Amino acid sequence: MRRSADIDALQHVLSAALGSGTPVCPLARLGHDTGSFAALDPAVLERPTLIGGGAPYHPSSPAPTPHALDELVRHAEELDVAQILVPHVRRGDDTGALRAAGFVSLATESEGVVRLTGDVDEVLRARVGAERLQDLRRRDLALSHEATWERIPLSELDGSPWARDAFVRLHQRRVGRDGGHGCLYNAEALDALARGALADRTEMLLRRGENTVVQAGLIAMSHTGRGIYSLTQAVDHDDPAVRRDLRAATVYRLCLDARRSGLEWVHLGRGDVHHMRRLGADLFIPLDHWLRAPDLVPPEDGGAEPELSEFAAPPVTGVPVPGPARFRHVPRFDTIDLSSNTSPFLGAAGEYPHLDTTEPAATYLNTISTLPGHGGVEALGPDHLLFSSGSVDGVMLLLTALTSPGERVCVTPPTFPLYGHFAHLLRLPVVQVSLYGDDLTQLDIQRILAADPRVTILCDPNNPVGTRHDPEQVRDLLVRGRGLVVIDEAYVEFSENPSYAGLIGRHENLIVLRTLSKAWGLASARCGIALAQPGIIEALRRVQVPFGFTNASQHAVRDRLTNSRPVLAGVQRIRAERDRMASVLAEHPAVARVFPSETNFLFVRLHKHERVMDQLRGAGILVADTGRVIPDTCRITIGDRRANTALLEALSSAL
């Protein structure tokens, strides 16, 4: 439905619905789409408008080429029509020609796609949870007892006049129910579609009860043969809950049928992201209407990429985002890709990963904004976030993108050793300013400022100690330092004190690193997260290798973020077990001290360190030996009750 030939066919359908030779109508005539125009002057809504697409019959319009746009403008002049609408353009399309011609973008709904990566029930269980899946199956089963499910090829519609009549009747009722200005799925439109080029790829879906048709819709096969578009659905019921039930059951049935036919995706059309996610959608594509009207003035920013941060290293300022990542906002699920030089015969594994991570970024931010200690995160958007291959990859990216040879990197031992390791590899001088205080929570701010580092990396909560830094000192460093402050929050979900992510909107020099390996249980997915001002994220993107965030990892991350209840329950269990183990170990004769912890591990000073470590190894128990960092210490991850009991027994044997 993205080919120009398909859009031309749908233009004829729209003209037939309007009863004219050309698709000209007031914006208000477009029915449910008028919500996108709510802020416009009423005069704009009622003014005749040339529709440069087949709305509302297709998921989205390709952004017109400069030549096609010239033809559209010329046609409007011939018709003496002052307004032109190009509806439902994907935000990732090249809209430069639209801007240059004086069109203004108006945000509207998003497209939703259910990608079928395996067994439908397994896919949906991961995305919507077992309870929601059971509800979808229940609705489908109940409807199968009450109504038959029929599919009629549109090219054979002449043999089923009852289906044609029912379709038109239900769509007229839907328009009346929604307070619309006229049905664009009228008999003339349906006949034009059945006679047009899309008839062989389009089917009518019907649910027929004992005496009447209770639901009628249209689906179309994509020109790639890999998926189906749900074009419209209308239900014979006034109760919104019943209509939702029917739509949910229909989507579930479509997914089952599509998977059995070897298809890879089901397009749900346009709608609310939250609702489409509850139907199993995992790809959401934001859309804009583009309108040219005498009353509208284009914005000055022109939709440009974020301005590069002043902290970007000089080589980074002169290069673009590498290769295909420049087109990361262009979805490819419904295109034929002959650009990537991969094998077409070995399934989905032969395709490169999806590059547009806008939706998982928004999902991550929405999810963590609901967690305690994350105030201010709700003000961040996808432009503030970059996914990396683990948070350690984020360290390498930022050191590469934001430093120049000879600029100093400050670390605060004891700390995670790879910070200094990567700095040395990049030939950056490393300044070590040790933590101090009984619990190693204090920063030597004066020494850090005196070193004037380009980057200061803080591990907070600290690894290996498990404590948090003094937050007033951290804020002092952000305000007084000239360089960047990077805070690695790999363990922050286990802490009862706030994250620094909410401060990003106020500090140009702050970068917060997060990971899904620890609390989120996705170490194998290798997903790190960098949060910073958009200009810094843009700099990191220019040095990042494309395709590092695999499709398998994206699916795992999306599924975990949209079903976070087990994660939060697991964090609570780990905290409780951590506190229990801290109390038991503090009384254990093999232990000299247990440091306070706001992580999922305990930092412990031992009596007879070497003997205890040998005994643990002999018992098949691995803990992190940190004796070379701080004498006589080890770091113990909190396991389940069985593993923790085995540890205590091995410690007792050591004595």
Provide the phi-psi class of 427: left if phi over 0, else alpha when psi is between -120 and 50, else beta: left
Which of 21 and 438 is assigned the larger pLDDT? 438
Residue-level pLDDT at 303 = 55
Instruction: Tell me how far apart the alpha carbons of residues 478 and 474 are, in angstroms, rounded to a whole number.
Output: 6
Q: What is the residue whose two structure tokens read 């004190």?
A: 497
Structure tokens at 198: 């899309």
Pairing of strands 484-488, 510-515: parallel
Structure confidence at residue 190 (pLDDT): 93
pLDDT score of 1: 62
Residue-wise pLDDT for 323-360, tens only, equals 777 777 778 888 888 888 888 888 777 888 888 888 88
pLDDT value for 54:
63
Structure tokens at 100: 């240059």
- Short-list 449, 502, 451, CA closest to 478: 449
What is residue 201's predicted lDDT score, i.e. its pLDDT? 93
The average confidence (pLDDT) of the chain is 90
Q: What is the average pLDDT across 311-326?
A: 86
pLDDT bin (cut points 50, 70, 90) of residue 277 is: confident
pLDDT of residue 447: 97
Provide the pLDDT confidence category of residue 165 given band limits of 50, 70 and 90.
Answer: very high
Global pTM value: 0.84
Tokens 């999902």 belong to which residue? 363
Run of H or E including 5: helix 4-18
> Residue 32: which pLDDT band, with cuts at 50, 70 and 90?
low
Per-residue confidence band for 300, with pLDDT thresholds at 50, 70 and 90: low
Percent of the chain with pLDDT over 70: 96
What is the rounded CA–CA span in Å between residue 458 and residue 469?
9
Residue 102 has pLDDT above 60, yes or no: yes
Strand partners, 202: 220
State how far the Cα of 333 lies from the Cα of 341, in Å rounded to an integer. 17
Q: Give first-to-last CA distance, the chain, whole Å.
A: 73
What pLDDT was estimated at residue 125?
86
Between residues 472 and 127, the one the model is more confident about = 472
Output 433 or 41, whichever has higher pLDDT: 433
pLDDT digits 0-9 by tens, 208-248: 887 889 899 999 999 989 999 998 888 888 777 778 888 88
Alpha helices in 103-239 (DSSP H): 120-128, 130-146, 161-178, 187-195
- Is 14's pLDDT higher than 80? yes
* Helix or strand holding residue 149 (H, E): strand 148-153
The pLDDT value given to residue 56: 65
pLDDT of residue 52: 87
Consecutive H or E run containing 580:
helix 565-586
Average pLDDT value for residue range 483-491: 97
**Cis? peptide before 382, omega within 30° of 0:** no
The pLDDT assigned to 333 comes to 84
pLDDT at residue number 103:
94
pLDDT 10s digits, 129-152? 888 889 889 888 888 888 888 999
Quote the distance between the C-alpha of residue 286 and its chain's center: 12
What is the C-alpha separation between 471 and 574, in angstroms, rounded? 24
Q: CA 171, 18, 240 angle in degrees (round to 5)?
A: 20
583 Cβ neighbours under 8 A, 6+ residues apart: none
pLDDT tens for each residue of 283-293? 888 899 999 99
Instruction: Transcribe 267-309 into DSSP letters.
Output: EEEEE-HHHHHHTT--EEEEEEEEEE-TT----SSTTPPPPPP
Tokens at 185, concatenated: 């799925």
**Closest by CA position to 325, among listed 642, 620, 540, 168:** 540
| Lowest mean pLDDT across 236-240, 255-259, 510-514 | 236-240
When pLDDT is averaged across residues 530-556 and rounded to a whole number, the result is 91
